[in-house]
């Protein structure tokens, strides 16, 4: 595939199987394929349902999806502006080094300008040296040791509502 044979485009509902396939490939790369719980049905509901929670841009070569960026908006109270949070960026291993990752970031940068976003943020696994090196070529900065990603999921997430006082109005 030459650099000129691929293009970027927003994913559509018809791309659900491609999106799920790329998610599974990313999970394999990150050494956690057993953690993927997403299904075509859950992606259809959350990406294209009544309230879409995220967006996807695909890198495609003909009809073949070779990369993706899955992202959503967050918000910075300090800036008073929305931001873009890049949940996943993935380019198939055989397609790396062809400019696809840079183009996906370029797409997000253009979108951030159009939507008056103040930030583009993402997380990276500390062991993923090739990705960290790539991000630094773009001018990305680590949040340093002062910040660490935190997460609640599963039983811990389900138990949060127990923290509400009995008389809470919501």
Quote the crossing angle between the two packed helices 40-48 and 16-29, to the nearest 10°: 110
Chain centre distance of CA 127: 18
Could you tell me how many helices (H) and strands (E) the chain has, helices first? 5, 5
Is 170 an active-site residue?
no
Using DSSP's 3-state secondary structure scheme, residue 49 falls into: coil
Using DSSP's 3-state secondary structure scheme, residue 152 falls into: coil
Q: Write out 59-124 in H/E/C secondary structure.
A: EEECCEEEEEEEEEEEEECCCCEEEEEEEEEEECHHHCCCCHHHHHHHHHHHHHHHCCCCCEEECC
Given 48, 53, 107, 135, the catalytic residue: 135
Q: Greatest CA separation found in the chain?
A: 62
Q: Which residues are tagged catalytic?
A: 135
């Amino acid at each position: 595939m030459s650099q000129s044979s691929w293009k970027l485009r927003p994913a559509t509902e018809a791309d659900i199987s491609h999106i799920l396939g790329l998610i599974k490939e990313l999970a394999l790369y990150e050494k956690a394929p057993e953690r993927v719980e997403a299904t075509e049905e859950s992606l259809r509901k959350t990406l294209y349902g009544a309230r879409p929670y995220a967006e996807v841009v695909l890198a495609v070569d003909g009809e073949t999806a070779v990369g993706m960026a899955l992202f959503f908006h967050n918000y910075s109270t300090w800036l008073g502006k929305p931001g873009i949070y890049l949940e996943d960026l993935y380019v198939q291993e055989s397609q790396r080094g062809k400019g696809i990752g840079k183009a996906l970031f370029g797409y997000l940068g253009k979108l951030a300008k159009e939507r008056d976003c103040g930030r583009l943020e993402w997380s990276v696994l500390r062991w993923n040296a090739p990705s960290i090196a790539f991000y630094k070529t773009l001018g990305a900065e680590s949040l340093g040791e002062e910040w660490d990603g935190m997460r609640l999921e599963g039983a811990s997430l389900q138990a949060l509502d127990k923290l509400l006082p009995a008389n809470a109005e919501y």
